[in-house]
Amino acid sequence: RIFAIRPDAGWLRARRRLLRQLKAEVVRRMGSEPPDVKVYTRRYERELAKPWKVSSKAEILIAIEKADVVFGGDFHALGPAQRTHLKILRSLSTDRPVVVALECFSVEAQKWLDQFIEGKIDADRLRKKSGWDADWGFPWENYRPLFELAKRRKWSLVALNTSGGEKKRTAKQLEAREKNAAKVIDRTLQASPGSLVYVIFGDLHLAKSHLPRALRARRPRQAGEIREVTIHLNSERNYLELAR
């Protein structure tokens, strides 16, 4: 049977209100957007304004299983964004090694991630030693299940960010962060052939001309094409259209 559901204007208003609250939280933590970052943002928005279609969960998971790199968009202040990646990672086959590469940790925290995976420190110690509250500051409990899943499955956790990276908000600094992340991802691909590198990074960085291009620029032609999948989780236009 097919059921028609009458749109609820109140529900849509509530979604828009929640979105405004989340954006205000980001501004409170990170400051307003400088003019050069607005230009950077428009490149992302133009890309996501292109025609699109709805895919099933099964189609998405098949594409991910075939990929070398998944660029997973992160809306830092929104718990369902982190839970979406958790659901995807839980759904992956346990036959293939996975590396979870994270913007939320600076590269200086890598030794603490390694010790956490090895069982030498617990999650609370990881939070303290990595300087999470000072350097990242978004809700720890939203991200923690991702780290614990990786530990249970004996996956690697890899730090991608520069020191204090999330507090740097010029376009030049955003691009420098992407170049640093691309270097780490490239090194990880070389060190872990056959693994899936699942990147969780701010959605804005995942326009094709941003982090994906920075990664491709590091790969010599003879290395072959990287099979990429990008999962965007932060497009207001697409979200509200689907909500309607």
3-state helix/strand/coil string of the chain:
CCCCCCCCHHHHHHHHHHHHHHHHHHHHHHCCCCHHHHHHHHHHHHHHCCCCCCCCHHHHHHHHHHCCEEEEEECCCCHHHHHHHHHHHHHCCCCCCEEEEEEEEEHHHHHHHHHHHCCCCCHHHHHHHCCHHHHCCCCHHHHHHHHHHHHHCCCEEEEEECCCHHHCCCHHHHHHHHHHHHHHHHHHHHHCCCCEEEEEEEHHHHCCCCHHHHHHHHCCHHHCCCCEEEECCCCHHHHHHHHC
Q: How confident is the model at residue 3 (pLDDT cuts 50, 70, 90)?
A: very low
Tens digit of each residue's pLDDT (9 = 90 or more) over 178-199? 999 999 999 999 999 999 999 9
Tens digit of each residue's pLDDT (9 = 90 or more) over 56-100? 999 999 999 999 999 999 999 889 999 999 999 999 989 999 999
Q: What is the pTM of this model?
A: 0.86
